[in-house]
Amino acid sequence: MCGIVGFVGTRNAAPILLEGLKRLEYRGYDSAGIAVDHRGVISISKVSGRIEKLCELTDGGKTMPGFAGIAHTRWATHGAPTDVNAHPHMSCDGRFSVVHNGIIENYMELRDELMGNGYLFRSQTDTEVIVHLIEMYYDGNFKAAVMKATSRLEGSYALGVLCSDEPGKIIAVKEASPLILGIGIGENFFASDVTALVAYTRNVLYLNDGELAELTPENITVYDCTGTPVPKTASRVTWDIEAAEKGGYEHFMLKEIMEQPRAVKAALTPRIQENRICLDEFRMTPGELRGIRKIVITACGSAYYAGCAGKYAIEKLCHIPVDVQLASELRYSEPQIDSSTLLIVLSQSGETADTIAAMKECQSLGAKVLAIVNVVGSTIAKLADYTLYMWAGPEIAVATTKGYTTQLSILYLFAVYAAEALGLLSEKEYQRLIGELQALPQKIQQVFDMNGILPRLASKYNTARSIFYIGRNTDYAAALEGALKMKEISYLHAEAYAAGELKHGTIALIDEGQPVVALCCNDRIAEKTMNNILEVKARGAQVLALAVKGNRTVLTQADDVIYIPGTDSLFQTVVEIIPLQLLAYYVAKENGCDIDKPKNLAKAVTVE
Ligand code: BG6
C-alpha cells in the first residue's frame, strides 16, 4: 500500500506535498519522492528511506519551486525500496511524471510492448509502464493520453500525473485504490486519504472507480471513462486532523485491530502467486534448508508470543525442532547455536535493542538469520541474511495487534513454504494449507461480525483483581498474548497458564467469582480444556470461553462464550487472538486508560 498526494495552486507545491506525505506515512515509508512543475519544466527528487530524508534532501521543499506537483510514499511491492524504484516516475521525453498506488497486473506484457517500441525503463516497478504509455499516446491532448493509457491497465491504481505542456494542471485517476480530491480556495488537491488534505481543506470530492479528474487552481472537472463530465457534490469532512489519522476511530489501537483483515491479506497475498508460495526474499535453497538442524525464534513482548504460536506450525509441518527464546534471555544464555541453526527474528519496529543484541550473538555463532519485520530499512532488516516484511503499514498504538497477526501469518506461510520445499507435503495438502492461509483475512473479519457482545462483556471484567487465561498448545499461545494485551492496556493483572498445569498448584488461587478465560479453539484438544472449565467452575470461577462456532457443549459449561470461525488448528491462534485484543481494548476503555500510549510502555524499546 502506498500514499499519493497532489497540489495545484498559486503557492509553492513542494512544502505542502511533503506535509501531505507525512500524513500518509502510515501507508508506507520505505521510499518517497516528489515531482514539481516549474515554468514548464518538471523536476523530481526521490529517495529510499523515510520521508524525513526527502525533506532534508529538498530542504523542506525549498529547492523545488513550482505551483503544481505530485508526491508519493511507498510500500515496495514490485522492485526493492531503492531510489530508482521510488516514485514519481518520468517519461523518456521528460514531459510526464506519474505517482501510483496499486498494482498493475498486466505490467509485464505492457513493459515488453513498450520496450519493443523503444521506450527505456529505469526501474523494476510495475508503475513505470504507465508513464511510458501516456507518452506513447500523447498527441497534444493531456487528458486524452491519460485516458488511453489507463484503458490499457489491468489491476488497481490511484494515479497522479503531471504534464510539462500544461503546467497549471494535474490529473488524478481512480481504479480500485482510494483517491480523494480536496477543494481549496484558488488551489486544489488529491490524496490517497483525507488525512493528507484535512489540514488545508475539509471540502472533498470522492472519486469513483473509472473516473478521471482534471485539477487547476480554480477548477476541478471529473470525467467518466468515456470522457463525459460527471457532476459531483462536495462533502464536508467532520474529522479533525488527529481523528483523521485514526480514520475516525477513537483510538489507533482499535483502528489497527480493525485493519487486521487487510494487513494479514497484505502480508500473505503478494507471496501466494498462482497457488504457489513465493518467498523471493528468503533465498535459502531446499538443500540448505535440509541442512537446518534447529530453528530458534527470538523476539520480545508480543513478537515473542507470536513465535510461541508459530512454533507449532513449523514443527508439525517441517519436522524441525523449534526453540522459542526471549531475546533478553537468549543473549545471556549459552546459546547452542551454530551454522546448522536458522534464527528467525520477529520485530515490528526492527529496532528493539534486546532482539538486535540476541541476533548479533547468534550470527557470531554462525546462524543464518531470517527477519520478519514491519519497518522497512530498520536495523534488524539490514542485519539479517533474509528479510520478510510484514507490510502491515505503520503501527501507531504501543500495544501491537496487526503487528502480531501479520508476524504470525508470515510464520505460518514460512512453515508451509519450507515443508513443501523439504518434500514433506503432498500437492493436495500443500494446496489445502494455502487455501486455509488465503481464508484467514475473511475469518478475522468474521470475528468482528460475530462478536458484538464484547463491549458488554468488558463491563463484567473491568474490576477484576486478576484474570486467568488458560489453554493448551495453540490455545495456550493465544492465552499468552491475550493476557499480555490485558495487562498492557488495562493494567489489570492477568496470567496465562497451560490448562493442563492448573491442577499442579495454580488452581489453589481459584476463588468464588475469579474470572477465567478458557480458550477451547484447537479442535484436537478443546475437550481437555473444557474439562478444566468444569474444574474451575466447581471452585466458583466465572468463565468466559472462546470456542469454534458449532461447539454447543461449551454453552452448558461457561458463563459466557465467544465464538470464532474454525480454521486448521495450526493456524487457529491468529483468529482467536482477535476477541482477546478486543476484550482488552474494551476493558481498558471501561477503565478510562490511555489505550494508545499505556503508562511505562514504549512502541519500541531501543535500549537494553
Ligand atoms: C514492546 C512493545 O515495547 O516491544 C510491544 O510495547 C512489542 O508491543 C515489543 O511486542 C517488541 O517490539 P518489536 O518492535 O521488536 O516487535
Residue 424's pLDDT is what? 98
Percent of the chain predicted with pLDDT > 70: 96
- Domain assignment present for residue 599? The answer is no
Q: Ligand 1 mean position to 390 CA, how many Å?
A: 14
Residue 82's pLDDT is what? 86
Query: Quick one: which atom of ligand 1 is closest to the CA of 304?
Result: 10
Inter-CA distances, 346 with 308, 387, 457, Å = 11, 10, 32
Inter-CA distances, 437 with 84, 267, 278, 482, Å = 33, 11, 14, 22
Q: How confident is the model at residue 139 (pLDDT cuts 50, 70, 90)?
A: very high
CATH value at residue 60: 3.60.20.10
- Mutating to test ligand 1, I would choose from 302, 308, 376, 491 the residue with most ligand atoms within 8 A of its C-beta, which is 302
Q: Give the residue-averaged pLDDT of 511-516.
A: 95
Q: Give the residue-averaged pLDDT of 229-252.
A: 79
Nearest C-alpha neighbor of 414 from the set 291, 268, 285, 273: 268
Q: How confident is the model at residue 147 (pLDDT cuts 50, 70, 90)?
A: very high
Residue 477's pLDDT is what? 98
Indicate the residue type of 478: A
- Domain assignment present for residue 602? The answer is no
Residue 156's pLDDT is what? 85
Domain boundary among 446, 481, 513: 446
Q: Is the pLDDT confidence value at 103 over 60?
A: yes
Helix (H) or strand (E) holding 368: strand 368-373
Q: Is 603 a catalytic residue?
A: yes
CATH value at residue 556: 3.40.50.10490
Inter-CA distances, 511 with 458, 469, 480, Å = 20, 15, 22
Domain boundary among 198, 226, 244: 244
Query: Quick one: which atom of ligand 1 is closest to the CA of 355?
Result: 15
Residue 456: CB partners within 8 Å, gap ≥ 6?
Answer: none
Helix (H) or strand (E) holding 544: strand 542-548
Q: 503 is written with which cell numbers?
A: 491442577
Nearest C-alpha neighbor of 375 from the set 100, 603, 157: 603
Q: Is the pLDDT confidence value at 95 over 90?
A: yes
Residue 529's pLDDT is what? 96
Residues 156, 11 share a domain:
yes
- Domain assignment present for residue 178? The answer is yes
Query: What's the DSSP call for residue 229?
Result: B
Residues 279, 388 share a domain:
yes
Identify the residue whose C-alpha is closest to ligand 1 atom 15. Answer: 347
Q: Ligand 1 mean position to 380 CA, how many Å?
A: 13
CA distance linking residue 11 with residue 136, whole number of Å: 31
- The boundaries of the domain holding residue 240 are 3-244
Ligand 1 cavity residues, CB under 6 Å: 300-303, 347-349, 352, 355, 398-400, 601-602, 604-605
Q: How confident is the model at residue 65 (pLDDT cuts 50, 70, 90)?
A: very high
- Domain assignment present for residue 44? The answer is yes
Residues 170, 77 share a domain:
yes
Residues 298, 152 share a domain:
no
Q: Ligand 1 mean position to 499 CA, how many Å?
A: 26
Residue 445's pLDDT is what? 95
CA distance linking residue 404 with residue 125, whole number of Å: 29
Percent of the chain predicted with pLDDT > 90: 78
Inter-CA distances, 132 with 110, 159, 350, 493, Å = 10, 14, 37, 60
Residue 27's pLDDT is what? 63
Residues 276, 207 share a domain:
no
- Pair 555, 561: CB distance under 8 Å: yes
Residues 174, 92 share a domain:
yes
Q: 353 is written with which cell numbers?
A: 535493542
Residue 385's pLDDT is what? 96
Q: Ligand 1 mean position to 389 CA, how many Å?
A: 16
Q: How confident is the model at residue 261 (pLDDT cuts 50, 70, 90)?
A: very high
Q: Is 62 a catalytic residue?
A: no
CA distance linking residue 479 with residue 579, whole number of Å: 11
Residues 468, 432 share a domain:
no
Q: 264 is written with which cell numbers?
A: 494479514
- Domain assignment present for residue 341? The answer is yes
**pLDDT digits 0-9 by tens, 154-195:** 988 999 999 999 999 999 999 877 789 999 999 999 998 787
- Domain assignment present for residue 530? The answer is yes
Q: Of these residues, 169, 246, 311, 603, which one is catalytic?
A: 603
CA distance linking residue 131 with residue 115, whole number of Å: 13
- Domain assignment present for residue 607? The answer is no
Average model confidence (pLDDT) across the chain: 93
Nearest C-alpha neighbor of 5 from the set 204, 190, 130, 213: 190
Q: Give the residue-averaged pLDDT of 319-337.
A: 95
Match 520521508 to its residue by C-alpha cell. 51
How many domains does the chain divide into?
A: 3
Residues 516, 556 share a domain:
yes
Write down the pTM of the prediction.
0.68
181-195, 357-371, 589-603: least confidently modelled range? 589-603
The SS3 assignment for 276 reads strand
Residue scoring higher pLDDT (171 or 334): 171
Domain boundary among 244, 267, 298: 244
Q: How confident is the model at residue 376 (pLDDT cuts 50, 70, 90)?
A: low
Q: Give the residue-averaged pLDDT of 47-71.
A: 94
Q: Is the pLDDT confidence value at 238 over 70?
A: no
Residues 313, 189 share a domain:
no
- Pair 574, 436: CB distance under 8 Å: no
Q: Is the pLDDT confidence value at 244 over 60?
A: no
Residues 198, 262 share a domain:
no
Residue 242's pLDDT is what? 63
Residues 256, 227 share a domain:
no
Residues 291, 206 share a domain:
no
Residue 76's pLDDT is what? 72
Q: Is the pLDDT confidence value at 254 over 70?
A: yes
Residue 398's pLDDT is what? 86
Q: Is the pLDDT confidence value at 473 over 80?
A: yes
Query: Quick one: which atom of ligand 1 is closest to the CA of 407?
Result: 16
- Mutating to test ligand 1, I would choose from 253, 257, 352, 489 the residue with most ligand atoms within 8 A of its C-beta, which is 352
**pLDDT digits 0-9 by tens, 423-454:** 999 999 999 999 999 999 999 999 998 777 88
**pLDDT digits 0-9 by tens, 476-505:** 999 999 999 999 999 999 999 999 999 898
- Domain assignment present for residue 532? The answer is yes
Inter-CA distances, 147 with 119, 137, 138, 225, 247, Å = 19, 9, 10, 7, 31
Q: Ligand 1 mean position to 400 CA, how many Å?
A: 7
CA distance linking residue 407 with residue 313, whole number of Å: 13
Q: How confident is the model at residue 243 (pLDDT cuts 50, 70, 90)?
A: low
